[in-house]
Amino acid sequence: MRPSRSILERSVVLKSTRRQSLKSKGFFMRYLSGIQPSGNLHLGNYFGAIREHILSQKPGNEGFFFIANYHALTTEKDATKIRKQSLEVAATYLALGLDPKKSVLFLQSDVPQVHELAWFLSTIFPVARLELQPSYKDKISKGFEPHHALFAYPMLMAADILIYNSDRVPVGKDQLPHVELCRDAAQKFNLMYANGESLLKIPEAQIREEVAIVPGIDGEKMSKSYGNDIAIFAEGKALKTRVMSITTDSTPVEAQKNPENCTVFKLFKLVGSEGEIQALADRYRAGGMGYGEAKKKLLDQINTYFEPSREKYKALLKEETQLLDILQDGGKKARAIAEEVMDRLRQKMGIIRTF
Ligand code: ADP
Ligand code: TRP
């Protein structure tokens, strides 16, 4: 029994069939990634994830980017926050240049089929392999409740990726074990149900080495859970306080300094132009420049870099209906592809549905 689909969903499937044929001739590359709505997004999220997603938006590519609100439930139980932060993630992407006509921006909760796929994958995936996941151990060591969803998180993430026939998964380095696990799950599934044929497409992780880990103000990996982050849209005094409190060593002003060992410089490299980076590196090496001056340059540069998007972000947050419309449209496109994939799997697995 075929599932019923709306006219719009059917037309998306048709387009997607055409796309499939173009893809088989090497024309399309589908990028898929998700980000949790679990707090203020910071420079680590931008340079390690969001910017990559937006940069993948070029002819020949197709971007699928979603707000992982189901994943956020593993650590956040405040409904008001989950809702508000989901819309903030959408506004952040749009303000920073994601074009909903070129990419598909959607909510994970608009594709409930991912849970069905996560369950299918769970029926073939070894518990022992999940127990080795660094993120599970890490969360528990930080005092998070070790509930089943935290443990099964990588199964849902694997489903998020596989359900759209994704080719590339741009993520930060910390997410690599999850993508590896997803590949293993897909391979095992293909062996079990299709003699190793490509029933589920095996995706590749994409990591940009030069910005693999963005440092926080204490020099450790920037993360909201370490309290060392700089928010993408921080401004004014709040931004100044964060930048001015970046940890530096005690080399005196007049001494020559190695820029590559300094967190201020590492962050400047992300927001400065090539010429500006070179000029600042020369100042470090020449001596005579204190860290306070370097921090002011970083502050100015962050302002220049993010100012235009900051204004767009504020305007978008006031337009909730517009945001929801964009997400709804993205959800329809994502759901149509997910349903197509699930149809194939259910048939292979002998799962009957009567609606
Ligand atoms: P956080 O560590 O603040 O909780 P998340 O784990 O929610 O951030 O990360 C969301 C995305 O941003 C992931 O793809 C992750 O790899 C990327 N990311 C987060 N922090 C950094 C960082 N410091 N450097 C590079 N990428 C990062
Ligand atoms: N686990 C990712 C994170 O915490 C978010 C995520 C969920 C994701 N599903 C995904 C990322 C699928 C890439 C692909 O950042």
Atom of ligand 2 nearest to the CA of 32: 14
| Residue 137 among the catalytic residues | no
Name the one residue in this structure whose structure tokens are 């001015």: 244
Q: Which one of 35, 52, 174 would you pick to mutate in the ligand 1 pocket, going by the greatest count of ligand atoms within 8 A of its CB?
A: 174
Rounded Cα distance, 186 and 87, in Å: 31
Q: What separation in Å is there between the alpha carbon of 304 and the centre of ligand 2?
A: 29
User: Nearest C-alpha to atom 3 of ligand 2 is from which residue?
Assistant: 35
Rounded Cα distance, 31 and 33, in Å: 7
Q: Is 23's pLDDT higher than 70?
A: no
Q: What separation in Å is there between the alpha carbon of 66 and the centre of ligand 2?
A: 9
Query: What would the mean pLDDT of 151-180 be, rounded to a whole number?
Result: 94
Closest of 254, 236, 261 to residue 293, by C-alpha? 254
Query: What would the mean pLDDT of 287-311 be, rounded to a whole number?
Result: 96
pLDDT at 81: 97
Q: Which one of 171, 182, 223, 225 would you pick to mutate in the ligand 2 pocket, going by the greatest count of ligand atoms within 8 A of its CB?
A: 171
pLDDT at 18: 56
Active-site entry in 23, 81, 224, 348:
224
Q: What is the radius of gyration, based on Cα positions, of the chain? A: 22
pLDDT at 248: 95
Angle between helices 134-141 and 176-194 (to 10 degrees): 130
| Residue 221 among the catalytic residues | yes
Least confident segment among 58-62, 202-206, 242-246, 299-303: 58-62
| Residue 224 among the catalytic residues | yes
User: Which amino acid does the sequence have at 90?
Assistant: A
142 or 219, which is more confident = 219
Closest of 182, 129, 187, 136 to residue 157, by C-alpha? 182
pLDDT digits (tens, 9 = 90+) for 229-273: 999 999 999 999 999 999 999 899 999 999 999 999 999 999 999
Which ligand has the minimum distance to the alpha carbon of residue 232?
1
- 38 CB under 6 A from ligand 2? no
pLDDT at 8: 44
Query: What would the mean pLDDT of 164-192 be, rounded to a whole number?
Result: 94
pLDDT above 90: percentage of residues in the chain: 79
Q: Is 21's pLDDT higher than 90?
A: no
At a CB cut-off of 8 Å and minimum separation 6, what does 40 contact?
A: 88, 224, 229, 231, 232
Q: Report the length, in residues, of the chain.
A: 355
Which ligand has the minimum distance to the alpha carbon of residue 133?
2
